[in-house]
Amino acid sequence: MRPKGIVADTLLLTHSDVAALLDVAELLPRLREAYAGYSLSRTIPARRFLVPLPASAPAGSNGMILAPGLIDGIPAFTVKMNVKYPAQAPAIVGVVLLHDLESGRLLAVLDSSHLTAVRTGAAAALSADVLAPREAGDLAIVGAGHLGELGLRCLGQVRSLRRVRVFDTVPGKAEAFCRRLAATVACPLQPADSVAAAVAGADLILTVTWSQQPFLDAGQIAPGAHVVTLGPDQPGKAELTAAALRRGTFVCDDRELAVEMGALRGVGLDGTAIHAELGEVIAGRKPGRTSPAQITIFGSVGLAFQDLAAAWLVYGKARQRGLGARIDFLA
C-alpha cells in the first residue's frame, strides 16, 4: 500500500540521520523476505555498473552504480552511486536516491556509507542465521575496517559470540579495533598476528578486505565453520582460494554476479561451484546446512534491493519522527 501523506518535498538524510534510524534488528526480517522474493520471482535482475576513475585519482579508487533496487510491496525504488577510496575512512562514500515508484518523484537523498555497511553486515548475519551451526560463536574477522565492525555487531544479533579474533595487514589496526570495541562487545576481542592465527578453530569467519589475491585456503577452515566473504564485489578481488570454495557449500546472493565479479570470478571458477542463492535456501527451495561438519560459505557482491530495504526503513522512520532537512528540487 502507498503510505499516506507522502509529500512533494525531498528529505535529505545525512550520515548521522541514517545511523540514528537504521536498526539491524528491524532490517533483518525485511532482508530475509526480500532475498527469498528476489531468488524466486525476480523480473528485473540486479544491475551493477563499474565506473573507472581517471588515473589521477588515488590508486584503487573507482565508482559503482547500483540500479534499480526493487522489492515487491514497496512503492519505491532506489538508485545508488558509490565511490571507493580504499586508503581513506570511510572508504566508501556516495548517495542513495529513493524514488516514488508511481510518479518517479525523488522522496529522499540518503548518505550511503553507513547504509551500505549496515545492509552488508546484515546480509552477513542473515547468511549466518540460515547456514551457521546454532552453537557457532567463535568468530574470526579478517579486515579491521568499518565493515568489519558492522559485521561483528550484526553477527552478534543472530549468534551468541564467545570470542572474536581480528587480523589486518595494516600494523596496529587489529589492536586498535579490539581496544575501540572492547567496552561494547560482550565477549573477549583479541588481535591476531596472521590470518591462520585468526581463523584457527573458528566456526564463524568474516573476511572484509580489498585483497586482490586469495589468502584463505581450504586447510585453514575448521570443519563445520560458516564463512562469509564480502570483499570480492568487483572483478580483480579475491579472498578465498578456489580449493576453499570447492571444499565448502557455496551460497551466493546472485548467481550471475558471483561469476561475473564476485568470489568465483576472482579465482577462475564458474557457476558449477554454486550450490544455491541465499534466497533459495531461505525459501526452502534448496537445502542449507545438512551436517555438523559441513563447511558453508556465503559470497556476496551486494544487491540493489538491499539498499531499498534499508532506505525505505530509514525514510519511513524519518518522516514519522520529523527528521531530515526538506528540500524542493523543483522550486
CATH number (domain holding residue 223): 3.40.50.720
Nearest CA-CA partner of 20 in 324, 326, 306, 327: 324
Q: Supply the angle between the helices 304-321 and 113-131 in degrees, to the nearest 10.
A: 120
- What is the distance, to the nearest Å, from the Cα of residue 140 to the centroid of all Cα atoms in its chain? 17
Cα dist. 322→11, 111, 215, 227 in Å? Answer: 10, 17, 47, 40
Query: Predicted confidence band at 231 (pLDDT cuts at 50, 70, 90)?
Result: very high
Better-scored residue on pLDDT, 49 or 326: 326
| Domain identity same for 269 and 135 | yes
Per-residue pLDDT, 296: 98
Asked whether residue 126 is domain-assigned, the answer is no
Q: Percent of the chain, pLDDT > 90?
A: 82
Residue 113 CA to chain centroid, in angstroms? 12
Question: Which residue range(s) make up the domain with 30?
Answer: 10-116+304-327
60 and 136 in one domain?
no
Residues 320 and 316: their CA atoms lie apart, in Å, by 6
10 Å Cβ neighbour count for 327?
13
Instruction: Taking residues 54-82, report their average pLDDT.
Output: 86
In this predicted structure, the answer to whether residue 77 has a pLDDT above a threshold of 70 is: yes
Confidence grade of residue 67 (pLDDT, cut at 50, 70, 90): confident
Q: What is the pLDDT of residue 57?
A: 78
Q: Are residues 202 and 294 in the same domain?
A: yes
* Tens digits of residue pLDDT in 152-187: 999 999 999 999 999 999 999 999 999 999 999 999
* Res 6 pLDDT > 90: no
Which pLDDT band holds residue 3 (cuts at 50, 70, 90)? Answer: very low
Give the HSE-up count for residue 166: Cα atoms under 13 Å, Cβ half-sphere. 29
Residue 123 domain flag: no
Q: Which residue has the higher pLDDT, 331 or 255?
A: 255
| Mean pLDDT, the chain, integer | 93
CA dist list (Å): 199 to 52, 171, 192, 209:
34, 18, 9, 15
Look at residue 1 in the predicted model and tell me its pLDDT. 41
Residue of higher predicted confidence among 179 and 2: 179
Please tell me the pTM assigned to this model: 0.93
Residue with cell 564476485: 262
**pLDDT per residue over 193-225, tens digit each?**
999 999 999 999 999 999 999 999 999 999 999
Is residue 121 scored above 60 in pLDDT?
Answer: yes
Q: Are residues 226 and 318 in the same domain?
A: no
Task: Note whether residue 122 is domain-resident.
Answer: no
166, 218: one domain = yes
Same domain assignment for residues 147 and 258: yes
Is the predicted pLDDT of residue 2 greater than 70, yes or no?
A: no
pLDDT at 8 exceeding the cut of 70: no
| Model confidence pLDDT, tens digit, residues 9-58 | 899 999 999 999 999 999 999 999 999 999 998 878 888 887 777 877 78
**For residue 244, which of 301, 208, 167, 297 has the smallest C-alpha distance?**
297
Averaged over 109-136, what is the pLDDT?
97
Determine, yes or no, domain membership for 83.
yes
98 and 220 share a domain? Answer: no
The predicted pLDDT at position 55 comes to 77
Tally of structural domains, the chain? 2
Please check whether residues 110 and 242 belong to one and the same domain.
Answer: no
Q: Do 273 and 318 fall into the same domain?
A: no
Is residue 138 located within the same domain as residue 229?
A: yes
Residue at 2 is within a domain: no
Q: At residue 237, does pLDDT exceed 50?
A: yes
Q: What is the mean pLDDT of residues 126-150?
A: 97
More confident residue, 44 or 103: 103
Query: What CATH number did the domain enclosing 319 receive?
Result: 3.30.1780.10
The verdict on 252 and 308 lying in the same domain is no
Is 125 inside a domain boundary?
Answer: no
46 and 107 share one domain: yes
Give the CA distances from residue 215 to residues 68, 92, 226, in Å, rounded to whole numbers and listed in that order: 33, 23, 16
